[in-house]
Structure formats: C-alpha cells, structure tokens
Structure 1
C-alpha cells in the first residue's frame, strides 16, 4: 500500500494551496496532503507556494513577506483559475488545520529561500501546539537548516528531507545530518530502484515529487516506493 500526497491539495480542480483545493482532496479520500507555509510581514503563517502572487494575480508584485495578513486577504487568487473561485484568498495555517481532519497526514513544507523566514519554525510549532496537531504531521523543507531548527524545538516531530537536484548518496547525507529524518523526498526525475533501496536500507521512506502520470506511478510502485506527491486525483487517492 502506498501513501500518496495530494500536492498543494487537488490543484487541478481548484486554486492550489487554498481551502477549496484541500476540500476537493479530502472529498477524493486523500490520506495525505502536502502544502507550503510562509510568513507575512506581521508574522502570520500562511499557506502558499510562490513568494509572490503574480502567477495568480498579475496586478500583484509584492512578496508575501512584504504584506500584512490583512493586505494579503484582499488579494484575489481564485479568479485566474476559474471565475467560480473569484474572491478566494491565501489561507492561514490556522484555517487549514481547522479544515483538515486529524486522520489525514499533513506534510507541511517550510518554504524558505530566496526568503529566509526568521522564526518560522517557532511559529509553526506554536500553531501545531495550539491545535494539538503533533500526530500525523510531517515537516519537510529544501532548507535543511530549517529542519534542524524544527528538531531543536520539537525533537519528536518526523522530518522529510527534500532534494531537487541529484546529490551523491542522499541517504548517507541524511544519516550524517543528525536529524530525525523519517523520509527522503527526491525529484521523481532521477528516482530509481537503487535510490529507493539504499534509502530503505537506512530506514527512510521515499516519497518522490511530483508524479502525475499513472505509468510513472506504477513504475515507482514496482521499484518499492512508499508513496508520491501528485496533482492527479487518480494517484493521490490511490491506496
């Protein structure tokens, strides 16, 4: 059985990383959902992938870090997807935690670089504590220093180590990092049977991103992958 993640919610059916996208993923029976967090100018945790919202609203050129939550909530990011989503805005982490049932695994990706959000790890742990959401939580990042910061605050939280480019023996790198790594999240482009087997031998689960074609998904399952991140409901709702 694979544990597949709805990548930014069901982003082919609703604007990515929004409450409607997460509602769609839940309706499909997704067992796991992935989303990204950033900090506003006034230190509110919000769920968004891009550092600017220009892709969703061409009139907006400011970065999230330069906007207050109030200013961010005035920006429509839904109508560019479909007029039925006009008025949809970037959600807060609080809103997402309130929406998603506790039996769904939430992969929360800390979206550092090119902006380094000082204190985002403390804010994240505080928010999880407020909602008593330390079960079924996986914290991931391409910024491995951010993972280290999370571990120092909440040592028992499982961590997912993201890799975009190929590096030599990522399983050894993860082991030598001293971090509480539960899973390796490689780019699916270079994920093969050998990488998966090496990671498994070190005790790491493997969740490649982003796998949208059923043929590639079936190939990775045959290699022994533990799950994938996907935009395809046929995959992320697959068991």
Structure 2
C-alpha cells in the first residue's frame, strides 16, 4: 500500500505548518501528515520549518528560540499567505495533536540543524506520551544524533533517516549506525530504481521528499517507493 504524506499540511491552500493547513489536509482525507518541531525560548514545542520568522513576517527579527511561546502567539505569520489568514500564528505541537485523528500517521521532524536544541528529544517524547500519540508515528531528522537520543529514550519509536545530499550507499550507513531505522527519506532528485531496490533489500521503506509533480510521482511508484512527501493534494490524498 502506498502511503503519501501531506508535507507541512496542505501548504498550497493555507500557511504551512499551521492549524488551517493541517485541517485542510485532514479534510482532504490524507492518511499521513508531516510537520516540523523546534523549541521556543521557554521550551515549548513549536511547529515550524524555518528557524527564523522572516519568510512569514519580515518585521520580526531573530530566531524562534529567542521568543517565549507567549510572544510567539502574538506574531502573525498568516497574512503573508493571504488576508484570509491574518492573525494565524505558529501552533504548538499540542495544538496540532488535538486535531489529528488517532488513525492519522504523523511524521514529526526534529529541526535540529543549524540550531541544536538540547533536550528536545525528551520534551517531544514526553508530549507525545501525554497525548497518547507514541503509536502511528515516525520521528525523523537530518540530525541522526537526535534520532539516536530518541532511540535511547524509547526504542519502540519508528525512526526515519533523512538525507538531503547524495551519499555513498545510505542503506549501508543506516545498517551500521546502530539505529533501528524503519524508513529512509531521501531528496527525490537523486532517487532511481537502484536506490529504491537497495534500500528495500536492506529492510527500509523509502519515502522521498518533496514530490509535487504527478509524472515524477508515478515514476517513483514504478521504482517501488512506499510513498512520498508532497505539497500537492492530488498526490498526498492518493
């Protein structure tokens, strides 16, 4: 069965990584959501891809980690998308978890590069435990040390290993990492049939990112990928 992820929610229809974007993806009937988490100044899990506000609000300087959650909730990041979303702010992970049906698979990416958030792994797992969301879950990161810390805290969590650049034999790297990796998440630009076959022969599911072209999506399906991350509703609801 192919499993596609709505990447940061339905970000072509609402501001990315916000409650409206996630609600739209859920209404479309997506079976899986991808979202990013980092920490506020007072250690609340904030759902956002960028470490800065500048792409959403040019008047706000500094990094997300420089602001408390109370301050973050005063920052409008929706109006840059459109007037309909004026006043929309970055959500906390807890807010997102409350709107997600239990059968919806969540891929939570720890945004630990270039900012390293000390202790984010424990905070994340504690929050997921409090909301009974430790199942039907994948935790991924480009920071493979963060994945190691997640595994040390809870070895039952499914881990997704993210790769942006091409490296030699990532399946071998995953095998020797000491991590119980369930899936490899590569940049889609270099994924070919050999890549997919080698990953699957080594026991890893393959979920390339970010696939927004239907033709490329169908090509990847022919290679045998298990699903993709996509911004395109036509793809992520399949």
Deviation at 1:134, TM superposition (A): 1.1
1:186 aligns with 2:175: no
Cross-structure match for 1:17? 17
Deviation, structure 1 residue 178:
1.0
Give runs of aligned pairs for residues 1-239 of structure 1, distance below 5 A: 1-238=1-238
Instruction: Tell me how far apart the structure 1 counterparts of residues 229 and 11 of structure 2 sit (CA, whole Å).
Output: 12
Counterpart Cα distance in 2 of 1:114 and 1:235: 30
Gaps of 5+ in 2: none
Q: What's the CA shift for 1:72?
A: 0.5
Distance in structure 1 (CA, Å) of the matches to 2:2 and 2:184: 15
Which of structure 1's runs of 4+ aligned residues deviate more than 4 A? Answer: none
**1:15 aligned counterpart, secondary structure:** coil
- TM score, norm. by length of structure 1: 0.99
Helix, strand or coil: the match of 1:171?
Answer: helix
d(CA) in 2 for partners of 1:209 and 1:57? 26
Deviation per residue, 1:93-125 (Å, 9 max, x gap): 000000111100000000011110000000000
State the 1:180 CA deviation: 1.2
- Gap runs ≥5 in structure 1: none
Q: Alpha-carbon deviations, 1:62-116, whole Å to 9, x = none?
A: 1001000011000000011010000000000000000111100000000011110
Q: CA offsets, 1:151-191, max 9 Å, x none?
A: 00010000000000000000000010011100000000000
Q: Using the TM superposition, give the Cα deviation of residue 38 of structure 1 relative to its aligned residue in structure 2, in angstroms.
A: 0.3
Structure 2 CA distance for aligned equivalents of residues 104 and 191 of structure 1: 26
How big is the alpha-carbon RMSD for the aligned residues of Structure 1 and Structure 2? Answer: 0.5
**Structure 1: distance between partners of 2:162 and 2:89:** 27
**Matched position secondary structure for 2:160:** strand
